[in-house]
Amino acid sequence: MTVQQPRTGVTLADFDTIMREKVPFVGDMGVVTEQLSADQARLRLPFNQRHIRPGNVICGPAIFALADIALYAVAWLVVPKADLAVTTEATVHFLSGAKPGDLLADAKILKAGKRLLIAECHIRSAVDGALCAHVIGTYAMPPEPR
């Protein structure tokens, strides 16, 4: 099966740069862009001992940060200059404790309207594949340039 390329032409290296330069709070976490297709993105959060919380699991805010940037990535799949796309809302469900280890975020577009993009993201442990969290959220797309 051929994976369809992003129609905006954004590459893995482009989005790694976007994270580092435009969203340093997330860039500093060392998130890596692993896959980008027409409507999906996979990002990886490398394990960091400082992300641990009681119960020896990765804390919710680190998981949310990964999901939010993965949703931002899919906005870049459909709009050429998505800098100003902003999350308007997001709902996260934590399904199982995320064991120490890398996390993978798989974000997928559910609806790409002119004004709103709705996407969901599954967060899994790269250690054992367990589904740790589900996030669904909305991005308000930047007005089209004239």
Which spans of this chain sit near a copy of itself (rule: CB under 8 A)?
22-26, 28, 50-55, 59-62, 64-65, 68-69, 83-84, 86-97, 110-111, 115-116, 118, 120, 131, 134, 136, 138, 140
| Cα 11 to Cα 14, 29, 117, 132, distances in angstroms | 5, 20, 20, 27
Minimum distance from residue 6 beta carbon to a copy of itself (Å):
19
The per-type count for the chain, helices as H runs and strands as E runs, is: 3, 8
Contact 119, 125 (CB under 8 A): no
Residue that has been written with the tokens 């004004």 in this structure: 115
Of 61 and 101, which has the nearer Cβ to a copy of itself? 61
Of 127 and 131, which has the nearer Cβ to a copy of itself? 131
Closest-CA residue to 104 (of 83, 140, 73): 73
Minimum distance from residue 11 beta carbon to a copy of itself (Å):
19
Contact 6, 77 (CB under 8 A): yes
Per the DSSP assignment, residues forming a β-bridge with 47 are: none
Of 19 and 36, which has the nearer Cβ to a copy of itself? 19
Of 97 and 101, which has the nearer Cβ to a copy of itself? 97
CA 96 to chain CA mean position, Å: 19
Minimum distance from residue 33 beta carbon to a copy of itself (Å):
16
Minimum distance from residue 70 beta carbon to a copy of itself (Å):
11
Of 36 and 135, which has the nearer Cβ to a copy of itself? 135
Minimum distance from residue 136 beta carbon to a copy of itself (Å):
6
